[in-house]
Amino acid sequence: MYSLLGRAVIKTRWVILAGVLAVFAIGATWGLGVFDEFTDGGYVSQESRSVVDAEAIEDEFGSIGAEVVVLYSSDTLTVDDPAFADAVQSAVADINGIDEVESAASYYETGQEGWVAEDRHATFVPVTLAGASDEERAGVFSGIEQELRDAGDTGDLEVRLGGGAAIFADLNEQVQHDLEIAEMISMPILLLIMILVFGALVAASLPLLIGGMSILGGFAITRVITEFTDVSVFAANVITIIGLGMSIDYSLFVLRRFREELAQGRDKRTAVLNTVATAGRTVMVSGLIIVLSMGGLLLVDVPFLHGIAYGVMSAVGVAMLAALVALPAVLYLLGGNVDKGRLPWRRNAAPKTDTGFWHGLAAGVMRRPVLVLLPVLAFMALLASPMLDMQFGGVDERDMPEDAESRVVTETIAADFPGGDEETFQVMAVGDAAAAAEVQSELEALDFVDGVRPAAEPTADATLFEVLYDLDPFSADARGLIEDARAIEVDGAELYVTGGASDRVDMLDAIGEGLPYMLGYIVIVTMVVLFLAFGSVLLPIKAVLMNAVSLGAALGIVVWIFQEGHLSDLLGFTPSGYIDPSNLLLMIALLFALATDYEVFLLSRVREEWDRGADNRTAVLRGMQSTGSIITAAAAILIVVVGAFAFSGITFMKMIGLGMAVAILLDATVVRMLLVPATMRLLGRANWWVPGPLGRLYAKYGIKESDEAPAAEERTPVKV
């Protein structure tokens, strides 16, 4: 297959280059329009009880919450001063005159003292927007935001916007700002690493070009996907992280192999064919594992994860195709010119496989494998130990930058307004007045409930209550309160519960139900692809176990930092005491796939040596020496890419960026340098053992370099 692919690339190289230019053009124009198609939320399924109940309540009572809160304040005036009152009332009149606004009211019309700050220097105006969904109302807000700010003659009053629609707008703006910052931080460092790795400007620039193609292509495909399903705004960050990181990693391996082939005296045609057959195979195996692993997120009924999974699959798919097709076509055209702009102190020599730092390190580990294995596993277990106290919560205003206007408004209302810090949820009782009264009594009797009050005028068929409680909305007690409210049974009444922790109850239920399927799927997919790649039974099992070790250690560090709050001042975030489970699942899927990536890079070279007749120890030593520097460079590049998002203003993006950087560092150092050679030494020839039936399966369907499958060979473990 790979020789056919290589010949096809050479034959159609100009067509491929035209396609590359088309991807850049489409991605840079139409593809970037995906930012207007991204949505907020998606943490619970549309079929979940909290969403279904919310829709039922909205059908009966209309919108019960304000999408926008306009906060008016003054250092000198109070709400009782005529100038303050006139300014707010004129603003409300103008806001109600906006076509996209359904309603707006102030303290002056309603007499609601809860809408006035305790020092009486501020008041807020709830604004309900037109629109059938949160996404539609968010779009409405973006179109009228300036009108809301300019409404009325507010004079010296400070006007600030908060509420769900404003939070989404701030998030969207922050995402784009973070992308710009990440690019500013990472691109110069990446170029420097490329120059140091390749020692030539032309070679160093190619991975960055492939990276840009992958990002733009990923955005274009994701925009198509938004026509069929919602995709979270945070997909943009993840597409950038994974698209850039993986495309550069893949390009590194392809470029490295091509230059090795040239250094060994082969012409450019043979060099391209051999590169596609070896490094191209490695890229395909890695890309398949990542794309298929991300499909595991689709087994968890959390739409937020689905959209991001599609985005990652798109970006990695483009990165894989670019490295398999576009880059070899460019390399064929460049030939020896790939080394143009060579640094004067660098020379291109065929790599040594029997001496060198990585060879020596692996040899030292393999001389005393048990003495290396046990302390390293103990160290990784220590890093993973904070996971034992992991607490699941959610995303709120604390995930925003401290100076984000929507966060400031939310925290100001909570701190300065009477009852502003009260948590509430809504219960609709469908039935007669007597049944509704009994429902109210049952609600008031629940633990942690501070009060129950009408939330709207009753209709002929239903009564809507607002339940007040004094609990951390992310706590287990808050979730238990929702479950207790849902469990109330009153003759003649049907209950609908929404708001508060109801969405988190449903999200955790969905995650708890889908997580075993997701993990099982990822493990099975990884093991199947690795078996087809290497024809071994034990190596895929070992790879999964090594992945679990590095993943556990990384997640333990994430809990220690972001849940427990260590280093929060240094990293610039507000700890909530919880980890959002949806982002945790995203990290698990990404990190498991990326950890397998380096396993594939290393084992591909080890398998080459084994197939050439080297014994297990020699194959591992040569594989480590051949790939050690390039895996280190690839890891450094990916750490720079994902680590740049540790500077994000959004806490959970900071968590993903830092968590992934730590995981990659551990995997490329502790796991690949120490654990892998130690375990492969202990397993000996058993690394490559395969029973007859599976051997024949591998011979027929294995992902091998050669187009002709070798005869199946049953190898049995022997003592070494």
Q: Are residues 138 and 230 in the same domain?
A: no
Q: Are residues 213 and 267 in the same domain?
A: yes
Q: Are residues 262 and 336 in the same domain?
A: yes
Q: Are residues 581 and 715 in the same domain?
A: yes
Residues 409/162, Cβ–Cβ less than 8 Å = yes
DSSP state of 76: S
Amino acid (one-letter) located at 305: L
The pLDDT of residue 28 is above 60: yes
Q: What is the pTM of this model?
A: 0.86
Of 22-26, 180-184, 209-213, 434-438, give the lowest mean pLDDT range.
180-184
Angle between helix 327-334 and 268-294 (nearest 10): 160
Q: Are residues 321 and 381 in the same domain?
A: no
The band of 712, judged by pLDDT with boundaries at 50, 70 and 90, is very low
Q: Are residues 91 and 219 in the same domain?
A: no
Of 335-349, 364-378, 389-403, 466-480, give the lowest mean pLDDT range.
335-349
- In this prediction, residues 249-262 reach a mean pLDDT of 90
Number of other CB atoms surrounding residue 713 within 10 Å: 12
The pLDDT of residue 359 is above 50: yes
325: left (phi over 0), alpha (psi -120 to 50) or beta: alpha
The pLDDT of residue 133 is above 80: no
Question: Does residue 419 belong to any structural domain of this protein?
Answer: no
Residues 615/366, Cβ–Cβ less than 8 Å = no
DSSP state of 36: G
Number of other CB atoms surrounding residue 100 within 10 Å: 15
Q: Are residues 127 and 212 in the same domain?
A: no
- In this prediction, residue 449 carries a pLDDT of 94
Question: Does residue 670 belong to any structural domain of this protein?
Answer: yes
* End-of-domain residue from the set 149, 168, 187: 168
What DSSP string describes 110-152? H--GGGB-TTSSEEEEEEEEP-SSHHHHHHHHHHHHHHHHH-S
- In this prediction, residue 84 carries a pLDDT of 95
The band of 718, judged by pLDDT with boundaries at 50, 70 and 90, is very low
Amino acid (one-letter) located at 123: T
Q: Are residues 547 and 683 in the same domain?
A: yes
Tens of pLDDT along 617-647? 999 999 999 888 888 888 998 899 888 888 8
Q: Largest Cα–Cα distance in the chain?
A: 93
Question: Does residue 468 belong to any structural domain of this protein?
Answer: no
d(CA 486, CA 670): 49
Of 262, 127, 279, 203, nearest to 626 (Cα)? 279
d(CA 129, CA 138): 9
- In this prediction, residue 709 carries a pLDDT of 37
Number of other CB atoms surrounding residue 17 within 10 Å: 14
Of 540, 537, 584, nearest to 558 (Cα)? 584
Q: Are residues 126 and 233 in the same domain?
A: no
* Helix or strand run (H / E) with residue 80: none
**CB neighbour list of residue 7: distance below 8 Å, 6 or more residues apart:** 273
d(CA 698, CA 534): 8
The pLDDT of residue 322 is above 50: yes
Most confident of 131-135, 471-475, 676-680: 676-680
Question: Does residue 244 belong to any structural domain of this protein?
Answer: yes
146: containing domain: 61-168
Question: Does residue 284 belong to any structural domain of this protein?
Answer: yes
Question: Does residue 332 belong to any structural domain of this protein?
Answer: yes
Amino acid (one-letter) located at 509: D
Question: Does residue 315 belong to any structural domain of this protein?
Answer: yes
- In this prediction, residues 683-692 reach a mean pLDDT of 91
| Sign of the C-alpha dihedral computed for residues 539, 540, 543 and 548 taken in this order | negative
- In this prediction, residues 655-683 reach a mean pLDDT of 92
Question: Does residue 498 belong to any structural domain of this protein?
Answer: no
Q: Burial, 188: exposed, middle or buried (Cβ in 10 Å; 0-12, 13-18, 19+)?
A: exposed
Of 579, 575, 558, 394, nearest to 474 (Cα)? 394
The band of 351, judged by pLDDT with boundaries at 50, 70 and 90, is low
d(CA 310, CA 236): 11
Q: Are residues 672 and 560 in the same domain?
A: yes
Of 575, 559, 570, nearest to 659 (Cα)? 559
Residues 9/328, Cβ–Cβ less than 8 Å = yes
- In this prediction, residues 293-316 reach a mean pLDDT of 93
Tens of pLDDT along 38-79? 887 677 888 899 989 988 998 898 777 778 999 999 999 999
Amino acid (one-letter) located at 548: A
Tens of pLDDT along 161-207? 998 888 888 888 888 888 888 888 888 898 888 888 888 889 889 99
Q: HSE-up of 80 (CA within 13 Å, CB side)? A: 5
Q: Are residues 608 and 691 in the same domain?
A: yes
The band of 655, judged by pLDDT with boundaries at 50, 70 and 90, is very high
- In this prediction, residues 573-592 reach a mean pLDDT of 91
What is the CATH number for 164?
3.30.70.1320
- In this prediction, residue 191 carries a pLDDT of 86
Chain centroid to CA 363: how far? 37
- In this prediction, residue 353 carries a pLDDT of 60
How many domains are there within the chain? 3
Strands in 68-73's sheet, in edge-to-edge order, are 101-104, 122-129, 68-73, 158-162
Q: Are residues 107 and 235 in the same domain?
A: no
d(CA 236, CA 76): 43
Number of other CB atoms surrounding residue 342 within 10 Å: 16
- In this prediction, residue 184 carries a pLDDT of 87
Q: HSE-up of 232 (CA within 13 Å, CB side)? A: 25
What DSSP string describes 303-320? HHHHHHHHHHHHHHHHHH
- In this prediction, residue 456 carries a pLDDT of 86
d(CA 328, CA 580): 42
Number of other CB atoms surrounding residue 273 within 10 Å: 23
What is the CATH number for 256?
1.20.1640.10
What DSSP string describes 204-246? HHHHHHHHHHHHHHHHHHHHHHTTTS--BTTHHHHHHHHHHHH
* End-of-domain residue from the set 168, 188, 218: 168
The pLDDT of residue 708 is above 50: no
